Structure 1
Amino acid sequence: MNNTWTIFKKESRQMALEYKWIWLPVVFILLGATQPVTSYYLPSILEMMGGEQGVTVDPSKFVLDGNTILAATLASQFDQMGLIIISLSFMGIIQGEKASGILSFMMTRPLNLRSYLLGKWVAAYSLIAFSMMAGFGTSMFYSHYLFDGVNVGIGIKAFSIYLVWGMFILSVIMTVSTLLRGSGSVAFVSIVILLLFRMLAGLDPLVDLFNPASLSLEAASVLKENGMMSGITWTLLFVAVWIPVLFSLNEWLIKHRKVYLRHG
């Protein structure tokens, strides 16, 4: 536990030096504000662009409630641009230390590998969760004042479900960062894998039980319909299996394939 805490403090300090604790929450705040503000002004924008010769806008088509806007924030902003930004922000979480030789040096110290990985994961996830919270809170604020209001209790419930999907996102990025050498390839492969999970979500109820990305759809469903899928418990259980499996894979890659060596 002491090793985990030491790594956590080291990673948090490094992210502070890189200003990640500032710019990543700011990015998510902008993403969170984008959906409600754009949705609110979209009818006016279309009217200005179309005029009498353009598209006729039916105002009733744009009658939305705050919870629907929050659901769109998760699906359109966090699951697309947000996912890409997270992948780019943490693509070097293992790869960077592997390339610089720091990981090779640390493995010669009396450091438990699992504690090392856990410390890095907890530090990174703390920042991701904080950033998502800032963005979702901003979206909730604008949705409440620009539309018909927001049910705070339902919003918290939905966001809690979405945070579990965020855990899986980081676990995938961390595993790919351990496996590959180039930071660009880590970001690209991570984005492709995560978007594939997201694209498969909702296509088949049976597949959704095993697909962590279905939790994003579940969060949106809670916001729009205040109801949950019957299989969400199974999905949460499978995510609870996915993450330890990815951790074990990270350990195996470092221990047995010597990926921490710069040219190994």
Structure 2
Amino acid sequence: MQWNTLFKKEMVESWRNKKLIWVPLVMILLAIMDPISNYYMPQIMEAVGGLPDGTVFELPDFAPAEVVMMSLSQFSTLGVLIIVLISMGTIAGERKSGISELILVKPVSYSNYITAKWAALLILVWVSFILGMLASWYYINILYGSLSFGDFLLISCFYGLWLAFVVTLSIFYNSMIKTPGLVAFLTILTIMVMKGVTQVFNHLLEWSPNNLSNYIFQMLLTESIPSNLVGTAIVTIIMSIILLILSTVIFKSKELAQ
């Protein structure tokens, strides 16, 4: 009952500040931007002009698997940035303003407080991502060729784990720090460091969460689920669970220390 109340509070707040509207819209825009712009690029260049007479502007014929990876690349950059920005003040902002103290002065469980915020944020991100991928899947099938709905579901499930990890990482830093800007900085920095370390030591870190996109592309090319994709997905889930548990422990210790 307590968790449900906290969760509903977060969802109502997301509705009031219009996150439930603009976040899905932005995710849809990110997902369809590359598929549409690449398909119509010759017409766009011709309409804009500025090219010498007789110039022929041609793009390679992209396969559906390549185009869907373009959408995922947008989520990996701008999408992650949006997630960090909407989540950076989830707990840190309330701690800084003192709202969290007003809530926790009641018999509210620290774990309920953390997990309710995490779940509400995760649902917002997942719903937005799935709507974006649905829009991308629709245009890919119209413009580039067939991409099965089964592939769409697999892509959404596996890549959704990466977005869940990003959300959990932001919640983790939220539990430690009261400054939203610093939470955003550390979250993005951690993701960048993980990416760099994974690239350098890829032979040792084959199951790093940063490799999910690569294995998803491999899955689309081979039309089978690689064992490395399953292993990476399991590691990503485990790391997210550990971060969520640590978030509760750290948040409770800091609040009790005040």
Q: Which residue of structure 2 lines up, in the alignment, with residue 228 of structure 1?
A: 225
Equivalent residue number for residue 7 of structure 1: 6
Q: Within 5 Å, which residues of 2 pair with 1:205-216?
A: 205-209=203-207, 211-216=208-213
Match of residue 52 from structure 2: 51
The TM-score normalised by the length of structure 1 is: 0.88
Contact 2:175-2:251 within 8 A present in 1 as well = yes
1:160 alignment partner AA: C
1:89 to 76, 82, 86: 86
Give 1:70's match in structure 2, choosing from 51, 55, 68. 68
Residue 52 of structure 1 deviates from its aligned partner by 3.9
* 1:237 positional shift: 2.4
Written as runs of structure 1 = structure 2, the 5 A alignment for 1:1-264 is 2-46=1-45, 48-52=49-53, 57=57, 59=58, 61-75=59-73, 77-201=74-198, 204-209=202-207, 211-258=208-255
Amino acid at match of 1:222: M
Pairwise CA distance, 1:49? 4.5
1:57-88 alpha-carbon deviations (Å, 9 max, x no partner): 4x3x520122221111102x100011101110
- The runs of 5 or more residues in structure 1 that have no matched partner are none
1:201 CA displacement: 4.7
Distance 1:134 1:200, change over 3 A: farther
The 3-state SS of whatever aligns with 1:215 is helix
Distance in 1 separating the partners of 2:23 and 2:251: 29
Distance 1:159 1:168, change over 3 A: same
Output the CA distance in 2 between the equivalents of 1:28 and 1:147: 21
- Equivalent residue of 1:110, what SS? coil
CA distance in 2, matches of 1:150, 1:50: 34
Q: From the superposition, tell whether residues 44 and 196 of structure 1 become closer, same or farther in structure 2 (CA, over 3 Å).
A: farther
Counterpart contact for 1:91–1:186, Cα < 8 Å: yes
Contact kept? 2:216, 2:229, Cα under 8 Å: no
- Among the aligned pairs, what percent are the same residue? 25
How far, CA to CA, are the matches of 2:50 and 2:217 in structure 1?
31
Counterpart contact for 1:71–1:223, Cα < 8 Å:
no
Q: Distance in 2 between matches of 1:8 and 1:224?
A: 40
Gaps of 5+ in 2: none
Indicate the RMSD between aligned Cα atoms, in angstroms. 2.2
Partner Cα distance (2:129, 2:195) in 1: 18
C-alpha deviation, 1:134, in angstroms? 1.0
The two structures have a TM-score, normalised by structure 2, of: 0.90
